Structure 1
Amino acid sequence: MKKFIVLIAMLMTGCASIGSVKDKPQLYDGKIPGDHASLARCVVDRLQADSRWVISSLQYKMWEYPDIAASEIYAHALHQIPEMYARTSPLNPDAVFDSSAPRPVIRAYAPGAYSGPEYSFTLLLKRTDNATVLATLKGNKYEGRIAWENLQTCASMFKKPD
């Protein structure tokens, strides 16, 4: 009987973490010149146009938080999205899907642990003053590095001449 109880306890503790997303490591942060909404749109546009299939196949979600003057981008690989079906998958040549840029969803900011589907990276752009934002990028190293490079490129395009 004791072995059975121990087995059940081990099974329950092992299954307790299924479905929970572990917080990804922070890869980059820093002050960037520009507006959070414009930078977020620019980064997503550049990533969707990227020639590398790993990057261009990512699905992006954009959130805007007017209460804290911030924008956030979540990038999900196709296998990480729970609502992805064969009829809408970009990998299916017969699928009918919308390849347009994602529209930002306006919502209230709720600090705390992320509980959505697994993500490749997340980029939070929070306004610090009228000319700069604080950028924080968490996620996988490869996709995160490419997103950060695109953010730097977008920031240099929006930078006002001195």
Structure 2
Amino acid sequence: MNILLEQLTERDAEKLFAFEGDNRSFFEKMVPGRGESYYQYDEFLLRHQALLLEQEKKEGYYYLVKNPQGTILGRMNIGDVDASHQSGFLGYRIGESFAGKGIAKKSLAILLQLMQKEPIQQIAAKTTTNNIASQKVLEKNGFEWISQDKEHFEMNGELCQFVHYQWTKHCN
């Protein structure tokens, strides 16, 4: 499947809100929920505007994964960028009907290629012990396993732990 990463824009808000709502239960099987207020359009718009401001200041890199027809397939983000703009935290999600098709792996590879032109030197990521697919996506894109939390938490009736990864830019 052909995919592309497009930087998040103001005009994406309505379609992105629908994407998030349509995939909410699927996402919450794998990652902790974003809270009820996230699914109220006014609150979503405030958060969307905040991401756009972060992006403008290079405090975050926010992309939508789309097919050539413009359908949103997922999101690929680097947020929590430090003051020196050299490190950040990866977040991504692929919609339920597009999962298991290699889209996350391919999207992350594209994102990391884009980061070659940015000052980002390191990207941290975390997933849960029950999200094997996400662990594979990270590892296949050069993220190294760093640690696993000792603490357990319950998510959807299953005990999980967070697993931490890191990617480091290599000079060419």
Which TM-score applies when normalising by structure 2? 0.26
Higher strand share: 2
Higher helix share: 2
